[in-house]
Amino acid sequence: MTLDSLQLLFFKNYDEASLRLSPGLNCFIGDNGSGKTNLLDAVHYLSLTKSAITASDALCIKQGADFFVVKGNFSSEKIVGHETIQVSLRLGQKKTLTHNKQPYERMADHIGRYPAVLISPYDTDLIRQGSEDRRRYFDSLMAQLDHEFLELLMAYNALLRQRNAVLKRGDQPTHGFDRDYLLALDEQLAPIGQQLTILREAFLGEYVPIFQRHYQQLADGRELVTLTYKSQLLGADFARLLRNNERRDFALQRSTTGSHRDDFVFLMNELPVKSHASQGQQKSFAIALKLAQFEILATKQQHKPLLLLDDIFDRLDDKRIARLLELVADETFGQVFLTDTNLERTDQALARVAAPILRFRVQDGTVTPV
């Protein structure tokens, strides 16, 4: 699967851009702040219908405009001709997503069709930040692989929002605490939460050996790295937990137990990576997470995801860059999108790569082939 062309209109710092892309490597060269990463984010939009950088779609509209459009043409051996995906947003309206000009009934139906993996220097935030970031990362990966999981997650989150709204209304004299409605929500929430736990635990059992292999190849270290799944629901009855925590939930006006509290714990020699690993070890850990993500997506979906490499030459050391480029040269990856600030450095790094390479100069929101 390849992205053959990319078109932008009022997206971030671009008024307009139109690119014909290589099925091999696409290198975006420019100074920091020129808009290189924004091009990768546009590709991310076409894959996952959202930005990899900001939680707000509205922030992706160019200043002074009132809408943005990101459009791409995909092709593969399974596609006759090409498929056109377009994501657009107008201020004050809902985001729209179309496939060959036909709107999706639900954006969730698009997830997993055009997988992508982003490797960024900021991936170590997964280690340093809180459980929400790690949970979001693994949920996003599982959603691309398993629509049953995605449907369950969406249903769980919708019920959780309703439950929290009931808890928040409980202290308002004009509304009062509707316990019957809360119990009805709990009856629906409990089996979904239990199933999410089962699926997350099973996925991690498959993912961890792949991750460990990639870490050892990257780090050449003797340390043992692993991931453990932490959930209040493991070996527990979620319905009973909800009943037992009802008074506490009412006092705090939020649901204090459930799948939304799960975490994925990163360990090195049985100690937390966040506090006991060096900066280099954390970088290897984060890259290994993404390489395992790429491999499991490629294996399950039987085609290679798009690979987005953002500023790896500036932020990663030579050893880790060399390992990534070995994988590129060995054609482990399919289509690659890469950003850098130095064209000469990029050319030297990619000298062993046999795949076709296109280079683009990015400057102040303009993109031109080199």
180 is in an annotated binding site: no
List the structure tokens of 200: 């997350």
304 is in an annotated binding site: no
> Which DSSP category does 79 fall into?
-
CA distance 170 to 250: 7
245 is in an annotated binding site: no
Cβ proximity of 350 and 17 under 8 Å:
no
Exposure string over 223-238, b if 16+ CB within 10 A, otherwise e = bebbbebebbbeeeeb
Please give the torsion angle defined by the CA atoms of residues 233, 236, 241 and 243, in that order, rounded to the nearest 10 degrees. 140
33 is in an annotated binding site: yes
221 is in an annotated binding site: no
The contacts of residue 215 (CB under 8 Å, 6+ apart) are: 221, 225, 284, 285, 288
283 is in an annotated binding site: no
Residue 12 gets the label, from left (phi > 0), alpha (psi -120 to 50) or beta, of: left
CA distance 136 to 50: 13
88 is in an annotated binding site: no
Cβ proximity of 221 and 211 under 8 Å:
no
Residue type present at position 41: D
**Among candidate residues 366, 296, 298, the one with its CA nearest the CA of residue 333:** 298
Beta strands in 274-320 (DSSP E): 306-309
56 is in an annotated binding site: no
CA–CA distances in Å: residue 199 to residues 145, 163, 204 = 12, 23, 9
Residues tagged in the binding site annotation: 30-37
Binding residues for ATP: 30-37
